[in-house]
Amino acid sequence: MNKSIEIQSLKFGYARGEDVIDIESLSVSCGERIFLHGPSGCGKTTLLGLLSGILASSHGSIKILGNDLGAMPPAERDRFRGDHFGYVFQMFNLLPYLNVMDNITLPLRFSQSRLSKVSGTPESEALVLAQALGIGNLMKRQVMELSVGQQQRVAAARALIGKPEILICDEPTSALDHLHRDRFLDLLIDVVGTSKTTLIFVSHDRSVANRFERSVDLAALNREFRASTGDD
């Protein structure tokens, strides 16, 4: 199976000589669903920044879909991210001045390659995704009128439009109660399974780990964090 993400002896620090990430290796297959967890400060946000190409590593290599991020200039990394990643934040995922439909189709304005993967019109594609996520009836609504759970589903639809290879969800359920969290996870995993998207699901909520194919404990994986906490 092809590798979606390949990390080799990756080091990163915001200041010289003060690394916060030190990962020997991490490999994720295409279509795999990974549950990435760890306590606060273990470097989750930093790792996501590195994976998505916002941050550039100082040592080692990150290969996404076979492309070495370290070899790309920032502009190319930005475009690469727009083409191949979907991203769902913990909250406030949506642009308040666009309605639901415009929010979902927004990635297609930034990525030609994602636009080209849409079979019909952007609007019809958005509707298909929205219906799969149970928000098909909300398309013309203003996002500020939606509940948090509905907003997260709109965010998921937006992250998935144009079939990006990798979906990163950064604590997407932490603002939801258990009922909505489970419903959101059901829909997400269902949609991702259908589209064979690689899923990196970050959370500190270990109770949902069983929904994923593999769990990765970043606290154990990140040697820098282990060193700083005295290696328990």
Partner 1 sequence: MRTIIHLALRSIMNRRVTSALTILAIALSMSLLLIVERLRTGAREGFTGVISQTDVIAGARSSPIQLLLNSVFQIGSASNNVTPKTWEHFRNHPAVAWTIPVSMGDSHKGFRVVATNEDFFAHYHYQRDHRLEFASGKAFTDDHSVVVGARVARELGYTEGTKIILAHGLAAESFVKHETHPFSVSGILKATGTPFDRSLFISLPAMAQMHEAQGDRAGNGEDAHHPRDHDSHDDHDHLPGLSAIFIGTKARTDALALQREIQTYEAEPMTAALPGLTLAQLWSALSYAEEALRAVSMLVIVVGLLSMIVALYNSLNERRREMAILRALGARPWMITAILLVEAGLLTGIAVATSIALTYAALTGATGMITANFGISLPITSLSGEEWLRLGIMFLTGLAMAALPARRAYRNALVDGLTIRI
Residue ranges binding partner 1 (CB under 8 A): 45, 48-49, 52, 54-55, 75, 78-83, 85, 87, 89-98, 102, 106-107, 109-111, 170
Q: Which residues pair with 99 in a beta bridge?
A: 142
Nearest distance in Å: CB 98, partner 1: 6
Nearer residue to partner 1 within complex by CB, 49 or 226: 49
Q: Between the CA atoms of 166, 102, 89 and 136, what dihedral angle is there, to the nearest 10 degrees?
A: -80
SS3 34: strand
Q: Detail the DSSP E strand segments found in the chain.
A: 3-15, 18-29, 33-37, 59-64, 67-68, 85-88, 166-170, 198-202, 214-217
* 116 within 8 A of 103, measured Cβ to Cβ: no
DSSP lists the bridge partners of residue 86 as 167
DSSP code string of 81-124: HHHHEEEE-SS--S-TTSBHHHHHHHHHHH-HHHHHT-SS-HHH
Q: Between 87 and 201, whose beta carbon lies closer to partner 1?
A: 87
- Closest CB to partner 1 among residues 92, 131: 92
- We find the least distance from the C-beta atom of residue 95 to partner 1, in angstroms, to be 6
Nearer to partner 1, 26 or 48 (CB): 48
> To the nearest whole angstrom, how small is the minimum distance from the Cβ of residue 80 to partner 1?
8
Distance CA 201, CA 68 (A): 22
Residue that the structure tokens 């996520």 belong to: 133
CA atoms within 13 A on the CB side of 128: 15
Shorter beta-carbon distance to partner 1: residue 29 or 113 = 113
Nearer to partner 1, 75 or 179 (CB): 75
| Separation CA 127–CA 112 (nearest Å) | 20
Question: Six-digit token pair at 109?
Answer: 């304005």
Q: How far is the CB of 89 from partner 1 (least distance, A)?
A: 5
CB of 7 to partner 1, least distance (A): 18
Q: Tell me the closest approach of the beta carbon of residue 88 to partner 1, in angstroms.
A: 9
State the nearest-atom distance from the C-beta of 55 to partner 1, in Å: 7
Q: Between residues 29 and 99, which has the closer beta carbon with respect to partner 1?
A: 99
